[in-house]
Structure 1
């Protein structure tokens, strides 16, 4: 079988295992420019040209290198309407929504934004200033901080990728500006242990999700005037939507779900979760594959025997060293990832690494982080939650030492990470597949 690895693929073969491949419907791919132009011509609410004035200073928040958004195409489509409204290029600034990720390099900006790279600015969360507050689920007041360029703009626009997100249900919409171009206050609250423990905060859920609701409220408080987002599946881009940010997310999340959901009723000894570029550049992002599988609508590793088994995180590492043995009670999540950036280079990535590297055990780290943690470290909290019950093996990486530092196992290949005789589920594109409980839309290849 072929699995994504960076910008290419790797081959894996498990002849001694019983293998099931999860294949979502996929949908019919579209050309991003055509989809964006159609969306701009038929937006949710008034068209962009009617939402801005000729003398406005405009800020466009775009996604960073961790998202496969065709921002050059989307920004070009936005400029078409802005020019029609009498707005010149000199009135527009682009802010890269880094959140707490690392800045993009000049070369990355040119690749992502093409002719618009020269008007792009990397966001600095430390420079964000408060523009108001939003109300938390229990009535608490949470500051909303914003990049100064965005805060001072007369009109605020965002691009985005509506794709499955561990906490927001789906990303995109107001998230690009509220988190990507925001400060630490909203990140600290929304990504904190109390919020992540709330009912409805889960992968693939938009309605009734308090995390998503706070992002939407923040978008209103910021004054997000217009969104242009896309969504994608394993086959490529599936569509675009424009206009009011809530409608854009609702529209594209439903389109995405229809094309990436796979229903299951069985459980497995191991799950191979593919990632590929851009998410497998560092361990922070690549671990999404494991947590999306284990903490989604249906956990394919949650067999009764395994739930009753060892949850200590200790155990035989023979598979990691190349020896094949019989399956253990603890399930395995196997993630092939290049990790050319190691754990990651941004503030959030460093906090993630420091938390995991300094932990005595997954259980101890999870208990400690339930009392609170700094923004960006939430990925360590979620990874620890999974590691309490399952082992995570990262294979084929350029930084196996970083993997081993973080309570996970490094293995040279997928084959070395999976014991002989295992029942294995392969999810070739784990970030573009929603594993759900058995029902309509089942798609498998045996």
Structure 2
């Protein structure tokens, strides 16, 4: 009997699977990568060696004010390590510079004070100016251009008025943007709601290049890259983290070229074989990405790539924050079948994209072909069932259900962290 630890909230659960059924465990090499330097040393080394850019210190010289974009509560960016280093380096050169930290919420809810303290630490929350981006507040936005796809690019006014704009973030495989990090700090990070919706339209989401690990000819990435250039995002610090959320590498410099170097590093470590199975077990990597059903779709896409016809996906995801989006929930719950959702969304034109459309489009795509059993004891099972998925309180319960449906001889593949891999 194989026992595999699956990330679950801030801990883990054991997935016990008979040896005769388990055919492969697919894991990113990122999780076992052992850097020679400490986390602090890695960050400092990256900042000392910017890629295709002046150093942060050079960029800060002569500036009176600046904005640092950072990720929100749904992203495990280790800001307790990175932000103090960034702030210290800036103030060593410009002690009186006015710094605003802008949380790139994208289309998400605002980050709470408690979540800020968890992210930055009490000292930074107490002493720094921290602002939540609000994508739906039109008065807080300014139009800065037209995207390659034709949509209007509206961005946060505070960021656009800053003398210097930089961003911190992290790089991991992303289920439709190819990879997170870099340009995503701008779009969707600090973009207006209408801009985000247009970029995440059904046409782009269904594009064969809008997939995990793909940047070339990815229409979503193309728009994002343009947004970063037009916004004058002059410098980024992007880290790569392991399963314990510890920094194993970092890249700084130009928002396109430093990000591309980071993506190459992640892709080389994250590639796994495409092994097909009747039952695919995965997770969303634990906290903070497994707080809701909305985010869980990311991990499901890795499992989707390994599914035989009519396979079952067992998704280990706490979902303690519920569904994660009212529109997301309503669109799934109010439809009679996932196919109904999919047919409807594919008819919605680019400029008429509705909230959370991309998420329920991808979930409907998965559920139209495969059954999903959600493993959690932290949310209402009825909510999961309303969204056309099955529920199990424990992994054992889910596996019994899966074997009953697919047979006791079914082959099983396990992807312990579904958001960390690029399935070849």
Partner of residue 36, structure 1: 43
Q: 1:241 & 1:58 partners in 2: Cα distance? A: 20
Tell me the CA shift for residue 148 of structure 1. Answer: 2.5
Alignment pair present for 1:422 and 2:403: no
Spell out structure 1 runs of 4+ moving beyond 4 A.
Answer: none
Partner of residue 163, structure 1: 172
Q: 1:267 & 1:197 partners in 2: Cα distance? A: 22
For structure 2, list consecutive stretches of 5 or more residues without a partner in the other structure.
none
Tell me the CA shift for residue 72 of structure 1. Answer: 2.7
Partner of residue 322, structure 1: none
Q: 1:84 & 1:54 partners in 2: Cα distance? A: 13
Tell me the CA shift for residue 9 of structure 1. Answer: 0.9
SS of the residue 2:313 aligns to:
strand
Partner of residue 118, structure 2: 111
For the structure 1 residues 350 and 87, does the alpha-carbon distance in structure 2 shift closer, same or farther, using more than 3 Å as the test?
farther
The question of whether the paired residues in 2 share the 8 Å contact of 1:179 and 1:187 is answered with yes
Aligned ranges for residues 69-218 of structure 1 at < 5 Å?
69-88=77-96, 91-114=98-121, 115-118=123-126, 119-127=129-137, 128-137=140-149, 140=150, 142-218=151-227
SS of the residue 2:16 aligns to:
coil
Partner of residue 420, structure 2: 432
Alignment pair present for 1:224 and 2:233: yes
The question of whether the paired residues in 2 share the 8 Å contact of 1:206 and 1:250 is answered with no
SS of the residue 2:102 aligns to:
strand
Deviation track 1:295-338 (CA, whole Å, cap 9, x = no partner) reads xxxx2213xxx2xxxxxxxxxxxxxxxxxxxxxxx201111111
My pick for the range that moved more, 214-223 or 417-426, is 417-426
- The one of 248, 255, 264 aligned to 2:265: 255
Q: 1:112 & 1:336 partners in 2: Cα distance? A: 24
For structure 1, list consecutive stretches of 5 or more residues without a partner in the other structure.
307-329, 437-446
Partner of residue 254, structure 2: 244
Q: 2:120 & 2:10 partners in 1: Cα distance? A: 19
Q: Cα RMSD over matched residues?
A: 1.8
Partner of residue 441, structure 1: none
Deviation track 1:344-384 (CA, whole Å, cap 9, x = no partner) reads 2xxxx222111111111111100101122313231011100
Q: 2:339 & 2:303 partners in 1: Cα distance? A: 20
Alignment pair present for 1:280 and 2:290: yes
Q: 2:201 & 2:11 partners in 1: Cα distance? A: 35
Q: 2:266 & 2:186 partners in 1: Cα distance? A: 21
Tell me the CA shift for residue 151 of structure 1. Answer: 2.1
Q: 2:21 & 2:61 partners in 1: Cα distance? A: 62
For the structure 1 residues 79 and 250, does the alpha-carbon distance in structure 2 shift closer, same or farther, using more than 3 Å as the test?
same
- The one of 327, 330, 337 aligned to 1:361: 337
Q: 2:208 & 2:318 partners in 1: Cα distance? A: 34
Alignment pair present for 1:64 and 2:108: no
Deviation track 1:226-245 (CA, whole Å, cap 9, x = no partner) reads 10111124464321001101
Aligned ranges for residues 289-304 of structure 1 at < 5 Å?
289-294=299-304, 299-302=305-308
Q: 2:194 & 2:38 partners in 1: Cα distance? A: 38
Tell me the CA shift for residue 85 of structure 1. Answer: 3.0
The question of whether the paired residues in 2 share the 8 Å contact of 1:32 and 1:70 is answered with no
Tell me the CA shift for residue 100 of structure 1. Answer: 1.4
- The one of 21, 24, 28 aligned to 2:28: 24
Alignment pair present for 1:11 and 2:52: no
The question of whether the paired residues in 2 share the 8 Å contact of 1:351 and 1:376 is answered with yes
Give the TM-score normalised by structure 1.
0.85
Deviation track 1:50-87 (CA, whole Å, cap 9, x = no partner) reads 22343421111100111110123222222233223324
The question of whether the paired residues in 2 share the 8 Å contact of 1:32 and 1:240 is answered with no
Give the TM-score normalised by structure 2.
0.89
Partner of residue 387, structure 2: 406
SS of the residue 1:258 aligns to:
helix
Partner of residue 54, structure 1: 62
Deviation track 1:166-210 (CA, whole Å, cap 9, x = no partner) reads 111001102112311111122111110111223422111123322
The question of whether the paired residues in 1 share the 8 Å contact of 2:148 and 2:226 is answered with no
> What number of residue pairs does the alignment pair up?
397
Q: 2:40 & 2:189 partners in 1: Cα distance? A: 24
